[in-house]
Amino acid sequence: MLKTDDQLDNEKTLSIITVPEGKICDYIDGKFRNDTPEEYVRQNIEQRLVNELKYSRERIKVEYGIKVGSRRPRADIVIFPDGCENFSQENVKIIIECKKETVEPTNKKDGIEQLKSYMSACPNCEWGMWTNGKYKEVLRKGIDEKGQIEFIDYNDIPSADGSVEDIDRPKRISLRNAVEDNLLFVFKTCHNHIYANDGMQKQPAFFELLKVIFCKIEDERNIPNPLEFYVTSSERSNPDGQLTVKKRISKIFERVKKRYNKIFERNDEIGLSPRSLAYIVSELQSYSLLNTHIDIKGKAYEELVGANLRGDRGEFFTPRNVMHMTVEMLSPKANEKVLDPACGTGGFLVIAMNNVIKELEQQMKTVFGKPRPEWNHDEYRMFQDKISDVASNNFFGFDINPDLVKATKMNMVMNNDGSGNIFRINSLLPPHEWPSDIKEKLSEVLGISKSTIRNSKSIALFDVIVTNPPFGSKIPIKDPAILGQYDLGYIWEKKNGYWEKTDRLQSSVPPEQLFIERCMQFLKDGGRMGIVLPMRF
């Protein structure tokens, strides 16, 4: 078989790198470094510099030695100006120090003061950033009227192709998609700031952060109006400016409450102090939450939910590759009813919904005769309306935890502008015991009579079920009213080589066993189910 020149060139350049155990391959210079918490922070920052802020690798140096008095410490990351050929200390433009989470910014040896000393030793260094993955501080170096070095707080370092003005008030065209775990860093940073500075417990702090995230999404959707979700560096630094920011964001929140009146109450307000709100806006404003990849948003959101609504029990999260594989196997369609009867944080529903959105996008592409990037504002709004329509008619989620129900609604909105039909229900209960208002809503959306939702034989209402039930519960089901709905709730006896169900109920059954049968009861004839099951040895 003959090979083209391109194929031969590709074979020549192909190489396989084997990373030793306990090491990582540096994203910038390719060197092996110890896999430590501090290195995890640095590698995410390096990827952000290249993929978000568009700095070329050639301009970035890692572990760069800086002469500070008689010492020569190594700065974690330095960046040189574009076109620079002499990578000397005098030409350093930006210095970044990355620490593990346990290092506080006030630490005398490794905190903010260390960064300031490095910046002072580099005469042309204008920008510096210190971060430990949950806290970030950005400084711009200048000279005051007395000729002394001063450091001014800024929201962020500038992008390679951006301007300083974009730091303070980004334009739609300058919004960036998050990469790797940097959005997770931002969410953690914001939540920790609220927790530490506003005196809130973890759960209230989480929901206050979500209010601000909703404002960010609402502002991004407010096309073609200019962005209003922003704070300038000077506003963030003084009380009057912080009050101005709170007034600006509160106006956006009024629109949020009207749009999502099933999530927020009419009298809800942003409960953060003006200082905290200004800080959080500064952390979020440069990102596009609408366009950042679903997996990056999903991981950041679900880890935050897990840490605050599930008591840090991360073992309950379904790996995203498993969710993607399951949804792709089921291939839900835009006209099918999809249910997750144990929706948790909503990961399965979000991925299933985005799978359907891809189908809708192809349909719209055919109708409009052009791809999505070329759609005008009216065409894009038609697309969004169709997404909302599908979400509100075809996607359903049940969970017994009221906080997770709310979190799932928010996850759906953050990813596709539709909270679907997410209800607080104990899926194992007899349907006639479900709350009346929920049965009424279900019957309305499903186009059936409310009176038909009465028992386990009348709930085969869904085309697709995708779920990871709460396996491992130590509380068995003993209630005869619940057990009587399920074949698995009865005692079975073997007669003449065959198992036959008796009319006697078991004394107790693990809930996960009943849950599998309940999922089968939910399915229409010919329906499809993807379910995560525990591995037993």
Mean pLDDT over 427-453 rounds to 92
| 475 DSSP β-pair partners | none
For 15-71, the pLDDT digits (tens) are 677 888 999 999 999 999 999 999 999 999 999 999 999 999 999 999 999 999 999
Give the domain 23-162 fold. tt1808, chain A (3.90.1570)
368 with 270: CB under 8 angstroms?
no
For 467-493, the pLDDT digits (tens) are 998 776 567 899 999 999 999 999 999
55 with 27: CB under 8 angstroms?
no
167 with 154: CB under 8 angstroms?
yes
**Structure tokens of 389?**
């329509």
In this prediction, residue 94 carries a pLDDT of 97
Burial class (CB within 10 angstroms; exposed 0-12, middle 13-18, buried 19+) of 505: middle
Looking at the chain, the domain(s) classified CATH 3.90.1570 span 23-162
Average pLDDT, the chain: 89
Mean pLDDT over 201-217 rounds to 91
In this prediction, what percent of the chain has a pLDDT beyond 70? Answer: 93
According to the CATH classification, is domain 326-473+510-537 in 3.40.50.150? yes
Higher pLDDT, 95 or 419: 95
DSSP H helices, 14-103, are 37-51
SS3 (DSSP) at 78: strand
In this prediction, residue 83 carries a pLDDT of 86
Distance CA 178, CA 162 (A): 16
Concatenated DSSP letters of 118-159: HHHHSTT--EEEEE-SS-EEEEEEEE-TTS-EEEEEESSPPP
First and final C-alpha spacing in the chain: 49
State the DSSP H helix or E strand holding residue 443, giving kind and residue range, or none if neither. Answer: helix 436-446
Closest to 133 measured CA to CA, from 11, 271, 300: 300
Distance CA 455, CA 432 (A): 6
**88 phi and psi, to 5 degrees?**
-100, 165
For 344-360, the pLDDT digits (tens) are 888 899 999 989 999 99
Looking at the chain, the domain(s) classified CATH 3.40.50.150 span 326-473+510-537
498 with 492: CB under 8 angstroms?
no
Distance CA 176, CA 20 (A): 34
**Structure tokens of 208?**
């206050």
Distance CA 342, CA 186 (A): 28
In this prediction, residue 315 carries a pLDDT of 39
130 with 115: CB under 8 angstroms?
yes
In this prediction, what percent of the chain has a pLDDT beyond 90? Answer: 61
Look at the pTM and tell me if it is higher than 0.85: no
308 with 205: CB under 8 angstroms?
yes
